[in-house]
Amino acid sequence: MTIGSLAKTAGVNVETIRYYQRRGLLPEPERPYGSIRRYSHHEVERLTFIRTAQRLGFSLSEVAELLRLEDGTHCEEASVLAEHKLADVREKLAGLKRIERTLVRLVEACHQHSTTISCPLIASLHEGLSSSVGE
């Protein structure tokens, strides 16, 4: 298939394919003399692998490492990468929970304030929230 067909089949943009090729994530097939490059189902599978890993939060550098391990015999190494990603996700979730608690307090303050001119939310943003969100 052509690069356009590959892009359509994999649900990505042609420029995404070219970018992955420049990053070394996807091989660029040889161009027969006077013809166009042809891609196979293997490239569709590789693009699916890359996109799925990205949806799980892996960076392209991490995806490259996972691709290096894709033969299935390096489960221990892949597990270590996934454990690090899981720790990152849990850290981000904890940060989002702190932000949520702060926003809940600010929204409640807005609903409780009387007819004063200053909005508690806007005033808090002007004052800075670093201690409230645990930075």
How many separate helices (H) and strands (E) can be counted in the chain?
6, 0
Rounded to 10°, the helix 3-10/41-55 angle is 40
DSSP code for 32: -
- In angstroms, the Cα distances linking 65 to 17, 23, 25, 91, 126 are 18, 12, 10, 22, 43
- Boundaries of domain holding 5: 1-57
Same domain, 88 and 118: yes
Whether pLDDT at 115 is above 70: no
Q: pLDDT at position 27, please?
A: 92
Whether pLDDT at 108 is above 80: yes
Tell me which of 72 and 114 has the higher pLDDT: 72
- Give the H/E segment covering residue 14: helix 14-23
Q: pLDDT at position 84, please?
A: 95
Whether pLDDT at 114 is above 70: no
Specify if 65 maps to a domain. no
Specify if 117 maps to a domain. yes
Instruction: With cut-offs at 50, 70 and 90, classify the pLDDT of residue 49.
Output: very high
Tell me which of 119 and 24 has the higher pLDDT: 24
Rounded distance between C-alpha atoms, residue 129 and residue 1, angstroms: 54
Number of domains, the chain:
2
Whether pLDDT at 134 is above 70: no
Rounded distance between C-alpha atoms, residue 69 and residue 78, angstroms: 7
Specify if 21 maps to a domain. yes
Whether pLDDT at 43 is above 80: yes
Question: Token pair for residue 4?
Answer: 């356009």
Specify if 19 maps to a domain. yes
pTM: 0.74
Same domain, 130 and 75: yes
Closest CA to 18 of 28, 32, 8: 28
Q: pLDDT at position 121, please?
A: 79
pLDDT tens digit sequence for 50-92: 999 999 999 999 999 999 998 778 889 999 999 999 999 999 9
Find the mean pLDDT for residues 102-129.
79
Q: Do 74 and 65 contact (CB within 8 A), yes or no? A: no
